[in-house]
Amino acid sequence: MVESIAATSLLGHRPVHGGYHSQCISSRRKVFDTCQIPVTAFIGRKVGCARLTRLGVNQLATPPIKARAMEVTKEAHSNREEEEEQRIPQDFRYQIDTAVDRKPGFWPPRNKADDPSLHNPLLRLERMGSGWLAVIFEWEGVLIEDYPDLERQAWQALSQEEGKSRLPAFLLRTIEGMKNEQAISEVLCWSRDPQEVKRMASRKEQIYQALHGGRYIFRYGSWEFLNLLTRYKIPMALVATRPRKFLEKAIRAVGIEGLFTVIVAADDVRRGKPDPEMFLYAAKLLNFIPERCIVFGNSNQTVEAAHDARMKCVAVASKHPMYELGAADLVVRRLDELSVTHLKNLAHTELSEFESPEPELQMEEEDEADRSSIEDVDDDFW
């Protein structure tokens, strides 16, 4: 009985919290929290409480708190290690993603001009340099003077001969730079018969040549720039939407036959600008990749076609102001303003828009709840 009462008394006592003040050497008064626990003792057959003993609160609370904190810390570390093991495989090799070629861990970036099939390392090194480039010229408005008024007069004369209505100005701007067959069948919609389209296209070219009269004049600075490219042995191609017989006649008239490595005329392609087919075909004949070809034109249609072909474009402001040709990589008034250094800088620059297609816009789908709420509002409104 005594033992049970003693055990009950020992467990039943509550600690009495209190405190006392002390003064340290620095004469500052400090407060110390203490906890008094009554001690149960046996006196014969009676149970009594001895004098209260003072214990610091930290002495009572610290050991359980520290133990619990250590357990929580161990659990957190073990969970973190398990997550790391699940996320990172054991045979993972750490690599740096530079995002230069949009491929993680691919360094150095691949040079598109490199050709591993070449067994001569000097030729491979030359191809990878910025000096390995080709130039594609348009004929009218870039090398020789352009006569857009004569072009419009030829179209108006053809429409009058065919009994068509007079062409408005916006249609004439739309068919600028296109092949005659492409303009007649796709824009003007005068005929779908291939033979008829070919006849009208030939007749329009005859009218233009009659109005032109064979007057071919070099633009200022064009001859000097051609001599510069010839001195540095840079391959050149000539592209025009004129038939080949008229184009070769014009080249002989100005005395530059044999200067161009490749000549692409309207007879060689199916579509003209803004389709990039002419420029891609010229690059293929030159045996150059499109990224190392520089196109020289004088209109936004040329700029669009060159960029669609992944080529750089230099716009010559011959019939448009310079601010209208801002989409080009470089805009000049005359070709003699350029140097080979400008061409090398253009060929060396890798445009980001050529690396990947443009992101497609995706329409967000409405939630059923939002759609139903909108329908309810409409019903209430009406």
> Is 150 within the bounds of a domain?
yes
Q: pLDDT digit string (tens) for 45-64? A: 554 554 444 444 444 445 67
pLDDT of residue 285: 94
> Is 206 within the bounds of a domain?
yes
Q: Indicate if the pLDDT at residue 381 is higher than 60.
A: no
Range of the domain at 221: 111-145+217-351
Residues 256, 132 share a domain? yes
Mean pLDDT of 231-254: 93
Residues 266, 138 share a domain? yes
pLDDT of residue 65: 74
> Is 170 within the bounds of a domain?
yes
Q: pLDDT digit string (tens) for 160-184? A: 999 999 999 999 988 988 899 999 9
Is there a contact between 293 and 134 (Cβ–Cβ < 8 Å)? Answer: yes
Residues 309, 264 share a domain? yes
pLDDT of residue 28: 52
> Is 140 within the bounds of a domain?
yes
> Is 91 within the bounds of a domain?
no
Residues 188, 166 share a domain? yes
Q: Full-prediction pTM beyond 0.75?
A: no
The percent of residues above 70 in pLDDT, for the chain, comes to 65
Write b or e for each residue in 191-212: b if 16 or more Cβ atoms lie within 10 A of its Cβ, otherwise e: eeeeeebeebbebbbebbbeee
Residues 135, 266 share a domain? yes
CA distance 313 to 342: 12
Q: pLDDT digit string (tens) for 97-130? A: 444 444 444 445 566 777 777 777 777 777 777 7
Q: What is the number of alpha carbons within 13 Å of residue 123 lying toward its C-beta?
A: 6
Which of residues 61, 79, 94 is at a domain's end? 61
The CATH code of the domain that includes 296 is 3.40.50.1000
Burial of 186 (0-12, 13-18, 19+ CB in 10 A): middle
pLDDT of residue 162: 92
Mean pLDDT of 233-248: 93
Residues 325, 285 share a domain? yes
Residues 125, 153 share a domain? no
pLDDT of residue 99: 47
* Cross-strand bridge partners of residue 330: 314
Residues 247, 224 share a domain? yes
DSSP code for 213: T
Residues 261, 202 share a domain? no
Residues 297, 234 share a domain? yes
The confidence band for 85, taking pLDDT boundaries of 50, 70 and 90, is: low
Q: pLDDT digit string (tens) for 250-270? A: 999 999 988 999 999 999 999
Per-chain mean pLDDT for the chain: 76
Which of residues 215, 232, 248 is at a domain's end? 215
More confident of the two residues 142 and 21: 142
pLDDT of residue 2: 44
Q: pLDDT digit string (tens) for 344-373? A: 999 876 644 444 444 445 555 555 555 555
> Is 49 within the bounds of a domain?
yes
> Is 99 within the bounds of a domain?
no
- The structural domain count of the chain equals 3
- Tell how strand 236-239 and strand 16-23 pair up: unpaired
Q: Please report, for the chain, how many H helices and E strands are present, in that order.
A: 13, 11
pLDDT of residue 382: 52
More confident of the two residues 34 and 260: 260
Q: Indicate if the pLDDT at residue 16 is higher than 70.
A: no
Residues 119, 253 share a domain? yes
pLDDT of residue 355: 47
pLDDT of residue 177: 83
> Is 98 within the bounds of a domain?
no
Residues 326, 240 share a domain? yes
The percent of residues above 90 in pLDDT, for the chain, comes to 47
Mean pLDDT of 268-283: 92
DSSP code for 166: P
Q: Indicate if the pLDDT at residue 37 is higher than 80.
A: no
pLDDT of residue 9: 45
The CATH code of the domain that includes 165 is 1.10.150
Closest CA to 320 of 182, 173, 208: 173
More confident of the two residues 130 and 299: 299
What is the total residue count of the chain? 382
The confidence band for 26, taking pLDDT boundaries of 50, 70 and 90, is: very low
